[in-house]
Structures are given as structure tokens and as C-alpha cells.
């Protein structure tokens, strides 16, 4: 297991991108971090800069303006990074799919295989989010030397 993956699994720092969500998923993310669920005891910490992040939490259906930002932020994140789509909107745009101001969905926007975990729900429960992150980390542990995200990252290693 590479040092980068080991460090990522030890304490995945997360960066929260709200790409035009209704704020419900965002409130539930904050719930995870608050004392009731307190994911910080597992080393999961919310960070203010994308450069420090190991995982991106993306909420919302993404509109024409925010999708550009999401793509930019993904490109700025140090790899390997986990991309966690939180909520039905981020997973498949929900009923906003045919709306006038949405573009393609998150997994079509980012490179193929970039999205690691989909956590559906409107909003998903904090338990579901924690389970999603645990599953992503489990996936990492199994893959050993391979980076989590498939696709373009694979070529680099």
C-alpha cells in the first residue's frame, strides 16, 4: 500500500462542494461532523481548501454555472481523491434532469470512474453517509497499490 493511500485511509480530509443543492444534504453533512455522529474521531475533517482534501463531498444537481466550478475543483484536488456524490441530485440529478438550467450529471461531467461512491436519499441519513465513506475506504484497502479512482489516474501510476 502506497504512502498516499495509507495517509488517505488514516484520516480522509473532506472538502464540501454544494453545487446548487437545496441545502438539505449540506445540513446532513454538517450533522455528521457535529457531536452526535462526530466523524472527526475517525480522522474525517472538513477542510477549507481543495488543496488539502482527500475526498470531495458533492451535493446538488449542478446547474450551468456551478458545473464549471465543480469540474475545476475536481481538477485542482490532489490525486488520489475520493469523489462522494451525496443525495439523489448529485447521483442522477433527480427530477431536475430535464430542467432548463442543468447540464449533464456528475458522473458524465467528471472523467469516467471518478465518482467513487453514490449515496442516494433526499437527503441521505448521516448513517448512510458514514457507511458510504466506510465502503469507499474498504474498497481502497482491497485494491492495495492501485489508486481508488480508475480512468486517467491509472495511467499515471
Partner 1 sequence: MDSERVVELLNKSLGAKIKEISAPNPRRVYVTLDPADIVECARTVHKELGCRFNIASGMQMQRDFEVLYHFAFEDDTPAGVVATLRVHLDEKAPSVESISHVVPAAEWIEREMRELLGIEFRNHPDMRRLLLAEDWPAEVYPLRRGKPWEGKIEKKL
Residues that bind partner 1 (CB under 8 A): 63-65, 67-68, 71, 100-104, 108-109
Look at residue 99 and give its three-state secondary structure.
coil
For the bound state, the minimum distance from the C-beta of residue 55 to partner 1, rounded and expressed in Å, comes to 23
For the bound state, the minimum distance from the C-beta of residue 78 to partner 1, rounded and expressed in Å, comes to 23
- Beta-strand runs (E) in the chain: 13-18, 45-46, 55-59, 82-86, 117-119
Of 22 and 130, which has the nearer Cβ to partner 1?
A: 22
For the bound state, the minimum distance from the C-beta of residue 96 to partner 1, rounded and expressed in Å, comes to 12
Of 14 and 106, which has the nearer Cβ to partner 1?
A: 106
For the bound state, the minimum distance from the C-beta of residue 19 to partner 1, rounded and expressed in Å, comes to 12
Closest CA to 89 of 47, 56, 118, 131: 118
Q: Which grid cell is 135?
A: 465502503
Q: How many CB atoms lie within 10 A of CB 47?
A: 14
β 45-46/117-119 pair status: unpaired
Of 92 and 121, which has the nearer Cβ to partner 1?
A: 92
Of 18 and 44, which has the nearer Cβ to partner 1?
A: 18
Closest CA to 111 of 144, 50, 59, 154: 154
Amino acid at each position: 500500500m502506497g504512502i498516499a493511500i495509507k495517509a488517505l485511509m488514516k484520516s480522509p480530509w473532506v472538502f464540501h462542494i454544494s453545487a446548487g443543492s437545496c441545502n438539505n444534504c449540506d445540513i446532513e453533512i454538517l450533522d455528521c461532523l457535529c457531536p452526535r455522529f462526530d466523524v472527526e474521531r475517525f480522522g474525517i475533517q472538513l477542510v477549507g481548501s481543495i488543496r488539502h482534501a482527500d475526498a470531495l463531498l458533492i451535493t446538488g444537481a449542478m446547474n450551468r454555472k456551478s458545473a464549471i466550478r465543480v469540474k475545476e475543483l475536481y481538477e485542482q484536488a490532489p490525486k488520489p481523491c475520493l469523489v462522494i456524490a451525496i443525495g439523489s441530485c448529485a447521483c442522477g440529478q433527480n427530477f431536475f434532469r430535464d430542467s432548463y438550467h442543468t447540464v449533464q450529471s456528475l458522473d458524465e461531467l467528471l472523467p469516467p470512474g471518478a465518482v467513487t461512491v453514490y449515496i442516494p436519499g433526499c437527503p441521505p441519513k448521516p448513517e448512510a453517509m458514514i457507511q458510504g465513506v466506510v465502503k469507499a475506504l474498504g474498497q481502497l484497502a482491497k485494491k492495495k497499490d492501485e489508486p481508488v479512482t480508475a480512468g486517467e489516474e491509472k495511467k499515471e501510476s
